[in-house]
Amino acid sequence: MNADVDDIGAGSGGRPRVRTAAGVVEGRTGADGTAVFRGIPYAAPPVGALRFAAPAPPPAWDGVRQATAFGPTAPKVPYAAPFATLLADPEIPGDDCLSVNVWTPDPAPGARLPVMVWIHGGALTRGSSAVPVYDGSAFARDGVVLVSLNYRLGVLGYGLFPDAPANRGLLDQIAALHWVRDNIEAFGGDPARVTVFGESAGAISIGSLLAAPRAAGLFARAVLQSGAPEVLPREKVRTMVRRMASLLKVEATAEAFTAIGMRDLLAAQGAVLRRSGALLGGPAFGLVSDPATVPGDPLDALAGAGVSGDVPLLLGWTSEEYRLWLAPTGALRLLGRLGPLAVTLGRLRADKDRAAVRTLRAALPGAGAAELAGHLLTDRLLRDPLRRLAGARRPAPSFLYEFAWPSGVPGLGACHALELGFVFDTLGVPETSWLAGPDAPQALADEMHAAWVRFAVTGDPGWAAWNGEGPPKRFDGPSAGRAEAAWATRPALP
């Protein structure tokens, strides 16, 4: 892995080299002239005594470390069918999973380019920076240094123990942001112009980063895609750990779980995940309120005065988030058979009154019971809290968007995570079509990707900041000739 250092800037064969705080890394130059460095450790491997500890600094190395391949992914269980056919989630074995990747158009100090840091989704139990849809080449092509990162997942990152720090996955993300602050200038980035962006669990994480004192000053702008600031009741997270402990026949402590082999630990985690129901409020792995990391409810803190009020926000959702959660499993058909009962259950779960249901029916006159219930759940999880955050009295502006283009995969509509290939401008990546289907409109990717770049560069994505009323900016694009075309013409929901 290591070799002698000749010089910084270019190694053998013109390969780009950069000196980080821990040592020199050598990447690759793409056909478009941008440089990419993969698998750079920002923290020590979380093994042995570090399995449930706060992230420790990475060990330094001599010579040149090859940074040409993604590092190991965090230990996780795979997506179950049918989600595994819709969401790519590569698994790369190894212990050194706390790493970052950097795409840059100019790997040299002094370029002072804007930086975007991507935090992946996956319900805090799956996902990684190695997902092909998250390739950062288009951002580098457009003058942005793109950083993506891995963090601990599931019980390793979010299990709640009496003898370990809480929210370890969030601590990993903060450690990665410290790495960006201390090293990104050497890759051509400006540590004072960092935008964090994430989707689903990544956006939920950013909600907590905005409220976390340890993350203050580490980024200047934030994008939350289909995820709102939240913390789970501690008892819900403890329940997951206790269920695992019961299966493993050990105490529910970090010390006991450290002695369990990773294969057995993941098998127990997979078993409890199959019995959990986070969508309906059941036990789950997630962030919790904790004095050392996230004091109090992050949404309450951000909606108040003084917490990250100087950070411009870009916030949004897809029109039919719920279809990814419910359609592939047949749950949407089941809700449809329940008829009015499904609407009532959705209303109660969303804490809505009957007037809200009438308003929803007026906005979606052709919607069935299952669709209405799905929109009510989406309101509860995403639209209502993100609107509350955008409407908070804060000095910095907030910009709202809605992604409304329907997938070419039958039944998915404008579902959760569909916008990712458009944001990254990776419609040509085969894995993007798993969710989007064939013939996704490149013009829509051009528009959406440009808005994210513009926000990172200027703090303004190209439309008016939200003033507390009116529809969000709508991304829909062409959909003629598609069975789902009628969905794309519906107005933004109130």
> Which residues are catalytically annotated?
200, 321, 416
- Per DSSP, the three-state class of 163 is coil
Q: What is the 3-state secondary structure (H, E, C) of 380-392?
A: HHHHHHHHHHHCC
Sign of CA pseudo-dihedral 255, 261, 262, 264: negative
DSSP string, 64-84: EEE--SPPPPPP-PPPPTTGG
Q: How is residue 406 annotated by DSSP?
A: P
Residue 332 neighbours by CB distance under 10 Å:
20
Helix 340-350 × helix 331-338 angle, to 10°: 110
Round to whole Å and give the CA distance between 118 and 136. Answer: 9
- Per DSSP, the three-state class of 148 is strand
Contacts of range 365-372, beta carbons closer than 8 Å, 24 or more positions apart: 366/486, 368/336, 369/335, 369/336, 369/338, 369/339, 369/340, 369/341, 369/342, 369/343, 370/326, 370/332, 370/333, 370/334, 370/335, 370/336, 370/338, 370/342, 371/320, 372/342, 372/343, 372/346
Residue 333 neighbours by CB distance under 10 Å:
12
Burial of 93 (0-12, 13-18, 19+ CB in 10 A): exposed
Q: Do residues 127 and 121 make contact, with C-beta atoms less than 8 angstroms apart? A: yes
Q: Do residues 187 and 37 make contact, with C-beta atoms less than 8 angstroms apart? A: yes
- Per DSSP, the three-state class of 445 is helix
Burial of 393 (0-12, 13-18, 19+ CB in 10 A): exposed
CA distances from 327 to 162, 331, 380, 409, 436 (A): 39, 6, 19, 11, 15
Q: Do residues 35 and 107 make contact, with C-beta atoms less than 8 angstroms apart? A: yes
Task: HSE, CB side, 13 Å, CA atoms: give it for residue 273.
Answer: 22
Q: How is residue 62 annotated by DSSP?
A: S
